[in-house]
Structure 1
């Protein structure tokens, strides 16, 4: 019998196992002339099933043909038993049932077929393995994951025996393909059971069989490479995983037609790889293109298409694009159910993702309903599938607690702990989460603080392992639970620890290129790799300790082992921090201590952190007299929407006054204000959308109209923004103008379409035209001259007009200037065609300036060596980050900091040049009189508000300026 290639293609998406096999009668033969009629009936049915006409192959006519073979074979006896072709017929009917989504019928027929075929399995090995494959897959689809895995393990063992005893020239492509499919489905089942190490070996066997069937460069083989990479990643073998993911992409690019479905899989592989390495923005293009190809080639009724939707949604989640992600998950959920049935495990996963998006958008009750449904769907007939619980419980339990449903939360926490402890290779994160959530739902909560700190440590170590600094959605949700516990218990030290992980993630993202440049030092690279190896060992030790605590066995030994590894990690971290402090800071790796932070604040200073985690926004106020942590009354989605509403409403003529005051009330609560006390200087540590919030313009009271007397927050506090919690020694307010030197750069020559030199350097004509369309800044030259005059003759150098170019800056020793001022246009990533990172506009290059394009980019700034203790970016948008969700201290500002600058004066949005000149000069003058720089900026803003400059009282004119310190 020839195995249906159609069935093989359908089965490529599945997973499987096996029973004991009886021997056939010794005189049995598969070509006995006595049964010629049966062989004819088998050939007729097989021809119909293998027809190129899909409708015919799956028609009632084909079913009738297999039915005739079954009935005839049942009557033909061999040693008192029915002819095995009766079992072959039932197995083929079961494959048709499975393709039609009739899983209960498929299971019943496969069981009956295997029973009839068992004594003759060695005579019909392909049919036997096909029957086991179908049975195993359907068992899993119906909820018996463990049983399906056992069936598939048996199928794999039998296949290995069959391959070993059969001459190589008698093993055809279809047999290798069946072997690959069996191993693939087995690997998927093992993964769902948490048996990741075994899953890796099963998928490796699938990959090797696929290579034997189709060759190493086949489109069919690409998926095996990438699936193997996925399995390796789940087993914490990241280096090998990246190797095979890249192999899939390279082979697809070189050997696969662009319209072939496997090319879409290759694009998807690359997209997911980019996402895992922190380049989620880049990955979106690949994933969207992959979906478009799948829609055209395999259609929307294929599992591949549904997985594509889910993959794209899972990349959008950490980008906080929840409204875009949620419909993708819901569409995938409906598709999985149509294909796999109402209890489809994949539909449950898609629904759980959609629930996470709903939670992040503030729809808690709806999210709980989805999470409950996802659990019930895969557990309707079995409680053996523990994989879905790892996705559902970390979101469901905190949501139930927030809704006041403590009893249900406690039951869910108990199930989470039990299931996680049973996983053979449970990661440290779910183990730590289960322990903390169980402690949170226990009435006495005795172990809650310790469990929360342990979870924070696991999250910090996980973030440290990620070179790009990005947190996964699961990690951010876990940090949200820690902060919720800290707010409930007023554990401000715990809150600071968790917030440092959030802030450090943003810093590391902003400084990815800087960190890469630093690690070009071979000595540092070796140290970093050593630290990463130790952190991996610490994660293993954490996992052992957490599992020991969960099962209450060998806890003392596991705790001692963990302490030894932790001591090694801390020693190496401290040594690197001592020898390479800039690398630690660039990675956001500084670990704050609450007592040290308070001690570092000057008497008139206080600190406020405003951080969105997952579904909540958390506020931490620290002063010399105390500290307080609160969760904002509004959820994260509502508050972020307020920030966007305010920013979007700002014009020279007005702004959304209600949104501004609502934000003030949500952030500056009575408890927070009480802790800040009488501080005059407020250090603010914002992340996410709040990094783009101009805090200075929040009104303390509702306002009906803007005038010179509005009680802006800037009247109460002089504000400085900083990326993290480190308090560096005060630099002193006195700038000592007589001894400091100024470098002023700006008032560049205009670009024109005739600037052929730019185009010759690789800039497109579109970019040249866009640069030439930028408006002139007539006040920039006056601003530079006014500030230079303040420094005095002999202490100021100006590079203006044609001299304000990249070549001049590259050849000048910038370390001799105490203050550097740029007065020009600032461009953010994506603002215009061809500009792919934040940049300052300089003069067009001359024809001999190789590598010069007239744009000083953030990566070029990061490579500079400067020693200015103040850099003033009097330019449009210099506070902005690379993406909408990037921190305001990223982009250019962060690049200057890591080039060696001290404090920076930057702007949140395009600045009117006369206002920029006024604020810059007044701030410099104030600092020259000995004022702290935050106070100098505060007074400059207030003086502008009170001035006669047009519309000066409007926040659009005076509020974009921001002082950023270390």
Structure 2
């Protein structure tokens, strides 16, 4: 049951609780059943009867209020010794309860404070009423922003309840007693969680769940609510496996035992969705969120807090997916709903507005950021409330917006407030302290680079701790600030630090399941746990150092302690990198070094990183002589829109020439081109939307018509793409040094025909999995690839029948592939459908479609990335001549879907993959020409460049059109 509904049930049940025998009385001689007070008891019974009315409107009517007020007024005139009768306090507490239920929080706090003062001398005679008043008081204190006071009030109530329950024993306690105890523990857990005291919050919520189970049984809707809330607290305490266990338990119980119309039904769906989102499975989570909102709309209506919390939560899932245009209207609708229900100063409405400001910032609207963040701050900072949580949310948005709008004085003031308030937070995490310090230094214009470098180190450590390498919005915004500082200071090394974290996050997300498969090795798993323990110790040392710097106390000792812990952690990380390099690579790699990166460049080679962060896109150009960092003139949102526009026109007869050149002009600025100098080969490290952009087709000058002489970027550079900042030489040219042999896999047998409509143009992996397994019906929708067999045979003929093996038709199966020793083959070509995934959802991962499996084999016909990573491949080339094997299914997909990278982990030298469905004759042409040139000793990027240019000049139909020649990319390192 939700909090408000739960309180209504508790208050109705507790209204006539009897005083149990043997309870101590603070006021000597006082008796509840004193005949002199019969009239008061009659008033109490009258008010209770009204309050217990099954009709909610009647129970909360003015008539009920008048009855409680009459009890208070009459009891104030009856003296017990020199004190008013305690029923005066009971009446006020009940009025406060009604106020709280209706969202009238200031009035509720006034009533319960006065009521508790009146009942305090009689607390042990009216323990339930006193606990009810403390419960309302603590909850309201927390909800209006005084969280520390609320937690203390609820801690006192919990301690008293524990003592009272132990004193009277279970036989003397009713279901309602346990419900009240559960509600107090619940509110206490919520307050502790807001204070960041997650371990204590878990214990409090566990107590709430146990009391609720005792009162109502394990299958009651309210017990389901306590179960999914316990899962939430476990998640916040980083106990993820337990959290998912209890979240799924709540959904299962709700599905089997709870009416669909009950709030616990939709809330259990929502909580599981949130948990999946927070563990990196956002696309999977959206299904649960959407189902929950649909049920809320049907059962509780659009004027319910439940409904608006659903919108708020779903928008929160969309934000880290960079679906800002989808998230923003949901936050704004939720904000309007919260204000309509809770009043203009609704704290939750303020938070929704603050999150809408995140969308404003990411979309490059700083004036709107300022307006929304200041409005959110004003709403929670009333004369009776000060919510530091809001400051932590809005200052990191407000300070950059003020700087962007040329308001340096206001930026300095806001940054100073941010730093001061963060230092006042008990047990403030290292990230918050470092971010506040960085913002203050940046706004002041003094020490920003050092503060940014410290922040980058913290984020790198956090990324190593996170199992899927995900970055939240706060972390991405912090990285954006680091990159802004790097651009202002012209500090390429600092920019490289931040960019490596961004690239590493994308790699780790794309390869989450690959990393899980690798870490299944018990020896590696133990090493990883040891490393994480050391990184947690380093995080604590970071926090201690930041606190010392803030107070200017024991700084040298804190710095020395941190250095010692860091040395231990780095030694362990280096040891794992030495012993398990594939795991390190799958997790995003180690910290790159600018000097090493430059030293790893070949003669006439340069590197260009193109990184969207939060509101900006950043460029890092590196050659043998130095490095340059810049920010694009257009913001992230506008740049992503250009990429989307260009990709949306990539059809055989379409190409947005203006968007293509605009992208070229934004990325290849005069400063960047000057750094790239006379380089003939270019290594590109793109992330986010730019991982779906074939740079080869960007025109160097505005284009009116497309022909064989159009000045594409591929004419200027031989291009190789790499997911991250790997150092060292390119894959060795081994083909000429051994017997060439070829394995071709493709033209698989189709899955049995289904009844579904034609397949969508985009081959998104989520469409082809159901319940964690391949969906044969969905796979049957895939169109045939009539040219794939001809392509495989053409390449095989080039090698000769004695050195070529083909697995085609029914033989293009997982079982047949496993039976092959893949080590001897120098070139492996897959000509089949490739399925990609923008978000790595459970077992839904990138895959190649093979033939349907034979019954009983345990196969599903999909060769997934994690299965590929477990192979042992010796090929110099793996060619994925398949639909959509380069990038994911959205502009924000992880770099190259994880599928291509999995082949790298399996031992492949270089990979040739495609960005979109490729025409069969063009694929065969590019494949053959690239391999032939590489066989003659031509560098691989140059071999692909020459193959593309030769195709343009070949005279084949439409060969000059970028749709035909541009999808191919070379992935190296």
- Could you tell me the TM-score, scaled by structure 1's length? 0.92
Is 1:92 matched up with 2:99? Answer: no
1:901 aligned residue (887, 898, 908) = 908
SS of the residue corresponding to residue 896 of structure 2 reads coil
Distance in 2 of aligned mates of 1:861 and 1:150:
54
Provide closer, same or farther for how the CA distance between residues 763 and 876 of structure 1 changes in structure 2, counting only shifts above 3 A. Answer: closer
- Report the 3-state secondary structure (helix = DSSP H, G, I; strand = E; otherwise coil) of the residue aligned with 1:879: coil
**In structure 2, what is the equivalent of residue 672 of structure 1?**
672
Matching residue within 211, 214, 218 for 2:213: 211
Q: Which runs of structure 2 are paired with 1:376-455 in the superposition (5 Å)?
A: 376-382=378-384, 384-443=386-445, 445=446, 447-455=447-455
Q: CA deviation at 1:80?
A: 4.2
Deviates more, 1:927-936 or 1:640-649: 927-936
Given that 2:951 and 2:965 are in contact with CA atoms closer than 8 Å, whether structure 1 keeps it comes out as yes
The 5 Å alignment of 1:796-835 reads: 796-829=804-837
Aligned residues: 944
Structure 1 stretch displaced more, 380-389 or 637-646: 380-389
- Contact 1:837–1:882 (CA<8 Å) still a contact in 2? no
Return the offset for 1:513.
Answer: 1.8
Q: Tell me the SS of whatever aligns to 2:615.
A: coil
Match of 1:766 among 777, 781, 785: 777
Q: Which moved more, 1:658-667 or 1:386-395?
A: 386-395
Partner secondary structure for residue 770 of structure 1: coil
Determine which of 839, 850, 853 is the counterpart of 2:857.
850
Asked whether 1:533 is paired with 2:533, we answer yes
Q: Over residues 751-799 of structure 1, what are the superposed CA-to-partner deviations in whole Å (9 max), with x where a residue is unaligned? A: 56399xx99x99656336414xx13423x34433433343345333333
Q: Cα RMSD (Å) of the superposition?
A: 2.9
Match of 1:186 in 2: 188
Residues 618 and 629 of structure 2 are in contact (CA less than 8 Å); yes or no, is this contact kept in structure 1?
yes
- Structure 1 stretch displaced more, 44-53 or 202-211: 202-211
- Give, in angstroms, the shift of residue 43 of structure 1: 0.7
> For the residues of structure 2 that align with 1:837 and 1:140, how far apart are their CA atoms?
42
What do the CA deviations read for 1:783-825 (whole angstroms, capped 9, x no partner)?
3343334334533333344443333222111111011122333
1:910-925 residue pairs with structure 2 within 5 A? 910-925=917-932
Name the counterpart of 1:111.
Answer: 113
State the Cα distance separating 1:679 from its structure 2 match: 0.6
1:153-164 aligned at under 5 Å gives the runs 153-164=155-166
Partner SS state of residue 93, structure 1: helix
Task: Provide the rounded CA distance (Å) in 1 between the counterparts of 2:476 and 2:374.
Answer: 21
Q: Secondary structure at 1:610's aligned position in 2?
A: strand
**Which residue is 2:766 aligned to?**
none
Instruction: Give distance in 2, aligned partners of 1:938 and 1:823.
Output: 21
Cα 1:5–1:171 change in 2 (3 A) is: farther
Q: Partner of 2:313 in structure 1?
A: 311
Contact 1:141 1:343 in 2 (8 A): no
2:899 is aligned, of 892, 895, 908, to 892
Distance 1:50 1:468, change over 3 A: same
Quote how far apart the aligned CAs of 1:749 are. 4.6
**Which secondary structure does the structure 1 equivalent of 2:607 belong to?**
strand
Quote how far apart the aligned CAs of 1:165 are.
Answer: 3.1
Q: List alignment gaps of at least 5 residues for structure 1.
A: 13-20
In 2, Cα distance between the equivalents of 1:823 and 1:122? 79
Displacement of 1:494: 0.9
- Do the aligned residues in 2 keep the contact of 1:514 with 1:898 (CA within 8 Å)? no
Residue 844 of structure 1: how far off its partner (Å): 4.8
Q: Deviations over 1:722-757 (max 9, x none)?
A: 0111133233457318722122233445556399xx
Q: Deviation digits for residues 892-929 of structure 1, max 9, x if unmatched?
A: 31222222211111110011111111111111222122
* Deviation (angstroms), 1:940: 0.9
Q: Which residue does 1:878 correspond to in 2?
A: 885
Change (3 A) 1:495 1:874: same
Q: What residue number does 1:688 align with?
A: 688
User: Does residue 798 of structure 2 align to residue 790 of structure 1?
Assistant: yes
1:746 pairs with 2:754: no
Q: Which residue of 2 aligns with 1:267?
A: 269
Seen in structure 2, the aligned counterparts of structure 1 residues 209 and 418 have a Cα distance that, compared at 3 Å, is: farther
Q: Give the direction of change, closer, same or farther, for the CA distance of 1:159–1:840 in structure 2 (3 Å limit).
A: closer
Native 8 Å contact 1:777 1:824 kept in 2: no
Deviation of the 1:549 alpha carbon: 1.3
1:320 and 2:327 aligned: no
Give the Å deviation of 1:81: 3.5
User: What is the Cα deviation at residue 566 of structure 1?
Assistant: 0.7
SS in 2 for 1:736: helix
Partner of 1:578: 578
State how far apart, in whole Å, the 2-side matches of 1:800 and 1:236 are.
47
| Residues 925 and 384 of structure 1, relative CA distance in 2, 3 Å threshold | same
d(CA) in 2 for partners of 1:130, 1:827: 57
Helix, strand or coil for the counterpart of 1:904?
A: strand
Equivalent-residue separation in structure 2 for 1:734 and 1:559 (angstroms): 49
2:105 is equivalent to residue 75 of structure 1: no
Partner of 1:374: 376
C-alpha change, 1:67 and 1:273, in structure 2 (3 Å) is closer
Stretch moving more, 181-190 or 687-696: 181-190
Kept in 1: contact 2:500–2:591 (CA 8 A): yes
433-442 vs 203-212, which deviates more? 203-212
Per-residue CA deviation, residues 526-574 of structure 1 (Å, 9 max, x unaligned), is: 1111111111111111111111112222111111111111111111111
Shift, 1:677, TM fit: 0.7
**Cα shift readout 1:247-293 (whole Å, capped 9, x = no counterpart):** 54565456544543223232223222222222111111112222233
Q: Conserved in 1, the CA contact under 8 Å of 2:846 and 2:897?
A: no
- In the TM superposition, residue 176 of structure 1 has moved relative to its aligned partner by 2.2
Q: Deviation at 1:629? A: 0.9
Name the CA distance, whole Å, in 1 between partners of 2:41 and 2:492: 79
Which whole-Å CA distance do the structure 2 matches of 1:304 and 1:754 have between them? 40
Supply the distance in 1 between the matched residues of 2:10 and 2:892 (Cα, whole angstroms): 41
Q: Quickly say closer, same or farther: Cα 1:727–1:292, change in 2 above 3 A.
A: same
Query: What SS is found at the alignment partner of 2:320?
Result: coil
Aligned ranges for residues 432-831 of structure 1 at < 5 Å?
432-443=434-445, 445=446, 447-733=447-733, 735-736=735-736, 739-749=739-749, 753=753, 766-767=777-778, 769-771=780-782, 774-778=783-787, 780-792=788-800, 794-829=802-837
Partners of 1:107 and 1:752 in 2: how far apart? 66
What is the deviation of 1:164?
A: 3.6
Hey, what does 1:169 align to over in structure 2? 171
- Going from structure 1 to structure 2, the CA distance change for 1:237 and 1:925 (only over 3 Å counts) comes to closer
The answer on whether the counterparts of 1:193 and 1:384 sit within 8 Å (CA) in structure 2 is: no
SS of corresponding position for 1:629: strand
Q: Identify the match of residue 951 of structure 2 among 944, 947, 956.
A: 944
Alpha-carbon spacing, 1:517–1:117, altered in 2? closer, same or farther (3 Å): closer
- 1:799/1:71 Cα in 2 relative to 1: closer, same or farther (>3 Å)? closer
Partner of residue 867, structure 1: 874
Q: 1:71 to 1:827 in 2, by over 3 A?
A: closer
Taking the aligned partners of 1:108 and 1:784, their CA distance within structure 2 comes to 80
Conserved in 1, the CA contact under 8 Å of 2:316 and 2:327? Answer: yes
The change in CA–CA distance for 1:386 and 1:231 in structure 2 (over 3 A counts) is farther
Q: Secondary structure at the match of 2:125?
A: coil
Q: Relative to 1, partners in 2 of residues 1:959 and 1:6: Cα closer, same or farther, differing over 3 Å?
A: closer
Query: What per-residue deviation string (whole Å, max 9, x for no partner) do you get for residues 822-880 of structure 1?
Result: 2333343599xx995433344455x5683455443334333322110111122222213
The worse-fitting range, judged by mean Cα deviation, of 220-229 and 512-521 is 220-229
Partner Cα separation in structure 2 for residue 210 and residue 762 of structure 1: 37
Q: Is the 8 A contact 2:24 2:125 kept in 1?
A: no
Q: Which residue of structure 2 lines up, in the alignment, with residue 18 of structure 1?
A: none
| 8 A contact 1:805–1:842 mirrored in 2 | yes
CA distance in 2 between partners of 1:850 and 1:291 (Å): 41
How far apart, in 2, do the equivalents of 1:508 and 1:6 lie?
42
1:31 aligns with 2:42: no
